[in-house]
Structure 1
C-alpha cells in the first residue's frame, strides 16, 4: 500500500520504518526538520516502567495552584474553548480510580516496550544507546516508599524496581548530593540519543525505498468522490495514499477536525539544558523527584529536562531555565556547570486523560492515529511503531487495543 505518515518525530519515524520494512511504499511529511519538536529535546530515557498517566490523583489541584509558578507543573490561564475542555477533562481524570484503570491500560504497551526496542536493534539500526539504569531519588524515606508503592501495584512493573538508600545509592550515583538518601532503582532503564536515533531512522527509511520530505507541511486530508480519505494536500502539492498515519503530535487535531473527530489535545511544554562537563561522575539517568528534574548522560554531555507547562507560548523562558540550572547545581554540587546551552523548549502532545491516541478514526478507517504520548514518546515509540505496522498489515485486531487508547473516545 501507499502510505503517508504525517510527522517526523520518534513515533512517526519508527512507524514509517516498520511500514517500509513490511513492504509498503511510505512517505514521511515533516513540516519542519526531522525531530524538530519534543523528540529532539527530551530526557533521552527509555523506561516503560514509568508508564503512568500525567493526571495523577491530586495532580489537577496541584496544577491549579501552579498558576503563580514556582513548580515544574504549570498551567497558564486563558479561555480558548478547546483548552478549557482539555482542563476539564484533566480534572475528571485526576482521581485514583481513573489513574489505576489508565495505568493498567498502559501495561498493554509498557510490558513489551523494551522488547520492541530490542527487535528494532535487531534490524541493524545503528544509533547511540546505553544501558545504565535509572535512579529516582528522594530526600525522605516516606516519600520514596509511597512512590515505590505505585510501582508495586502493577504486577509486571514490581519486579523491575527496588528500593536503594544510603551507601548503595551513593555507589550507584556518587556525584549526587548527600541530601538525596533514598531512591528507587530500575536496572533495565536505557538511555537513547534521540537525534542519533531519528537520523538513523531517516537514513534507513530512504535506503529501504521510502521518502522523507522535510519542510513540507500537510495542510489537509484529501477525499475521493466517495468521501474516503485518499491522501494529503501539502505545501508542495497533493499526495495520494491508501492509508494516512497521523503522528503529528499536539497539532494532530488540525487534521482530524475535518473527519468529525473532536480530538482534544494540548502541547505540554518541556524544557531542557545540555551541559558539557568532563569528569562529571554521573553514571546513568537520575530523576530528582522533589524538583521533577531528569538527567541523562552521554559521554561528557549531560541533558537536564523538566517542566510540563500548559497554555504557554513557544518561547524559552528565563525563569524556567533558571529553575532547571539552580536545582541541578544544588543536586550535583561537584559537577562543573560553567559550560551549558542556552536552553530548549518543545511541546509534548497530551490528551486530557493522559493516554496516547492509537488506532483508526471512526468512520475513516484509512486514517490511523499515533499521537498523545505525553512524556513517553521515546519510551513507547518502538512498540507503538509495531502496533501501527500491524494495524496497516491487518495482523492486529483493533478490538484488542485497550479502549483507553481509542480515537473513538473523542467521537
Structure 2
C-alpha cells in the first residue's frame, strides 16, 4: 500500500519506519522538517515508569496554589482561560477515581508494548549508541512531601517497576552530588533511560525509514480528502493520493481534524527549557524536582533544564521568563550549575485531558489513522504507538486493547 504519514516528529518518524519495514510505500510530510518542533526540545527520556496520569485524584486541590505563582509549575494566562475551560472540565472528570484507575491501566498497557517495541528497535537498527542508562532521581523536600508521593511510587512498584526509596541525604548524594541538603528524600528508578539527544534520535529513526525507501517531503498538508479512489492530501506542490493516511502532527492536528468532521479535546501544555553548554554541571542521572515541575537532564555534552506546564494554547507568544525562572530554581538547588551560555526553547506538548493519546482509526473512514496527543510521553510511547499504527494499517489485531485511546471516547467528538 501507498501510505502518507503527516508529521515528522517522533511519532510520525517511528510510525514511518514501522510501515516501511512492513513493505509499504511511505511518504512523510512535514511543514518544517524532521523533529523541527516539539520532538526537538524535550527532555529525552524513555519514561516507562511514568504510568501515573496527570489527572490524578485531588490534583485540582493543588492547582490554586500553583496558579498563584505566575512562573510556577503550572500557569494559565488569563487570555486563554475561557478557551481552555472545557478541556479543564474534562481533566477534572478524568481525575475521579473511577476514570483514574482506567487511565493507569491504559498507561501500563501502552508502556509495556512501547518498551518491548523500543527493545526491538534498538536491536534491529543498532541504535544503542544513542541511549544512556543513567537512571532517574526524583527528589522531595522533607518527610511530608515524600509521604504524599508514596501512593504513586507504590503503584509503580506494584506494576513491577523497580524504585529505590532513599531517606538519607548521603544515599542521594552518592547518586547525584552537588544538590542542596533541602532535598532529604528521593526515589531512584535505575532502569530509566534517555536518548543522548531527542532531535538526533528522531533523525536517526527517520534515516532508517529512508533506507527502507520511505520519502520525506518538506511541505504542509492543508487538507485530507477521502474518496472511493483513495485519500488525497492537499499540499503547496499539488495533490497526492494514498491508500492510507497516518495523522501524527501532535498539537498541530486540530485544523485537519476539524476538516474531517472531528472536534477532539486536544490542547497543548506549553513547556520551556534552557540547554546549557558542556561543562555546566557534573550531571550523573536524570534529576526530577517533583514538587517544582521541572527536570535537569543531559543532552549531548550539555545540560537541559526544563519542564513546567503553561496552558496557553498555540497562538499566545512565548513567555521566556518561565525558562528563566526554571533556570534560577535549578541554580538554587544545584549551586555549582553554570547558567551562562544557554539556549532557550518553548514547545507544544499535545495533550488530551485524560492523559492518554489518541490511537485509532477515524470513526468514518478506517483508511485514516490518528496518532497524537501523547503529552509528556511522545518519545516514551513512540515505538509502541508505531507498532499499533502498523497493526491498524494492516488490519491486524492490535497487541493491546485500543478502546482507551479511541478518538470517539469523548462526548461531542463531531465537529
Pair in the same fold by TM > 0.5: yes
Cα deviation code 1:79-109 (max 9, x no counterpart): 7976332222122223333222211111111
For structure 1, which segment, 90-99 or 63-72, has the greater mean C-alpha deviation from structure 2 after superposition? Answer: 63-72
Alignment partner, residue 389 of structure 2: 388
Alignment partner, residue 307 of structure 2: 306
- Number of aligned pairs? 406
SS in 2 for 1:50: coil
How far 1:55 sits from its partner (Å)?
1.9
- CA gap of 1:155–1:387, structure 2 versus 1, over 3 A, is farther
Structure 2 matches for 1:123-134, cutoff 5 A? 123-126=124-127, 128-134=130-136
- CA gap of 1:281–1:139, structure 2 versus 1, over 3 A, is same
Alignment partner, residue 161 of structure 1: 163
Cα deviation code 1:253-297 (max 9, x no counterpart): 221223322212011100111112427222010001121111111
- CA gap of 1:365–1:279, structure 2 versus 1, over 3 A, is closer
SS in 1 for 2:23: coil
SS in 1 for 2:166: strand
The answer to whether 1:331 aligns with 2:347 is no
Q: Is the 8 A contact 2:157 2:163 kept in 1?
A: no
User: Matched residues in 1 for 2:213 and 2:402: separation?
Assistant: 33
Structure 2 matches for 1:98-137, cutoff 5 A? 98-126=99-127, 128-137=130-139
SS in 1 for 2:259: helix
Q: Is the 8 A contact 1:125 1:204 kept in 2?
A: no
How far 1:300 sits from its partner (Å)?
3.5
How far 1:154 sits from its partner (Å)?
5.0
- CA gap of 1:260–1:156, structure 2 versus 1, over 3 A, is farther
Structure 2 matches for 1:24-173, cutoff 5 A? 24-63=24-63, 66=67, 69-78=70-79, 83-126=84-127, 128-154=130-156, 157-166=159-168, 167-173=170-176
Aligned partner of 1:175 among 175, 178, 182: 178
Alignment partner, residue 408 of structure 2: 408
How far 1:168 sits from its partner (Å)?
1.4
Alignment partner, residue 249 of structure 1: 250
For structure 1, which segment, 202-211 or 59-68, has the greater mean C-alpha deviation from structure 2 after superposition? Answer: 59-68
Cα deviation code 1:349-393 (max 9, x no counterpart): 011222110011112111111100000001111111111112212
User: Matched residues in 2 for 1:237 and 1:67: separation?
Assistant: 49
Q: Is the 8 A contact 2:330 2:337 kept in 1?
A: no
Q: Is the 8 A contact 2:293 2:307 kept in 1?
A: yes
User: Matched residues in 1 for 2:366 and 2:9: separation?
Assistant: 23
For structure 1, which segment, 152-161 or 10-19, has the greater mean C-alpha deviation from structure 2 after superposition? Answer: 152-161
Alignment partner, residue 342 of structure 2: 340
How far 1:229 sits from its partner (Å)?
5.7
How far 1:114 sits from its partner (Å)?
2.4
How far 1:156 sits from its partner (Å)?
5.4
Alignment partner, residue 191 of structure 2: 188
Q: Is the 8 A contact 2:90 2:354 kept in 1?
A: yes
Q: Is the 8 A contact 1:64 1:75 kept in 2?
A: no
CA RMSD in angstroms, aligned pairs only: 2.2
User: Matched residues in 1 for 2:58 and 2:217: separation?
Assistant: 43
The answer to whether 1:377 aligns with 2:381 is no
Structure 2, unpaired ranges of 5+: none
- CA gap of 1:245–1:67, structure 2 versus 1, over 3 A, is farther
User: Matched residues in 2 for 1:296 and 1:81: separation?
Assistant: 34
- CA gap of 1:30–1:314, structure 2 versus 1, over 3 A, is farther
How far 1:316 sits from its partner (Å)?
3.4
TM-score (norm 1): 0.92
The answer to whether 1:220 aligns with 2:223 is yes
How far 1:252 sits from its partner (Å)?
1.4
Q: Is the 8 A contact 1:160 1:186 kept in 2?
A: yes
For structure 1, which segment, 57-66 or 299-308, has the greater mean C-alpha deviation from structure 2 after superposition? Answer: 57-66
Structure 1, unpaired ranges of 5+: none
User: Matched residues in 2 for 1:242 and 1:123: separation?
Assistant: 27
For structure 1, which segment, 122-131 or 43-52, has the greater mean C-alpha deviation from structure 2 after superposition? Answer: 122-131
User: Matched residues in 2 for 1:79 and 1:346: separation?
Assistant: 17
TM-score (norm 2): 0.92
